[in-house]
Amino acid sequence: MNAPDPAFGSRVRESFARQAVMATIGAQLERVDAGRVDIRLPFRDDLTQQHGYFHAGVIATIADSACGYAALSLMPAGADVLSIEFKINMLSPATGDAIVARGEVIRAGRKVMVCRADVHSVTGAKEKLVAAMQGTMMVVSKGE
């Protein structure tokens, strides 16, 4: 996909650094390409639900940011991104060394972008699909 702002990478990294919750849970921004962003979250016991797996909301937190930043990477300079909504399916218990959310834009509109994210658990060299998101991001233009 084509990014209208060549500086999209630094713009995404700066915005990610301002999302305080990312540091709180220990999420790391990995790949930042035009229309594709990956976020990794190492396993931590204090982010779990009652069975010791990652809580669905924690999974949604990194998947939503992966979608949002995939969308932001395709927006013009000065624009910002807001989540309108998302839907996420939990496919398997999310455990292992870490989970990685891979967000991708499937439709880059002028006002609205639609994204999907697949979330995999990573245990050693093994990956397993644990969640799937589809969501809608709003382009917030400068001055709005």
Where does this chain bind a second copy (CB under 8 A)? 15-16, 18-21, 23-24, 45-51, 55-58, 60-65, 80, 82-92, 106-107, 109, 111-112, 114, 116, 129, 132, 134, 136, 138
Look up residue 50 and give its DSSP letter. Answer: T
**How far apart are CB 5 and a second copy at their closest, in Å?**
16
Q: How many CA atoms lie within 13 A of 54 on its CB side?
A: 34
**How far apart are CB 97 and a second copy at their closest, in Å?**
18
**How far apart are CB 33 and a second copy at their closest, in Å?**
20
Encoded tokens for 129: 């699909």
Which C-beta is closer to a second copy: that of 92 or that of 123?
92
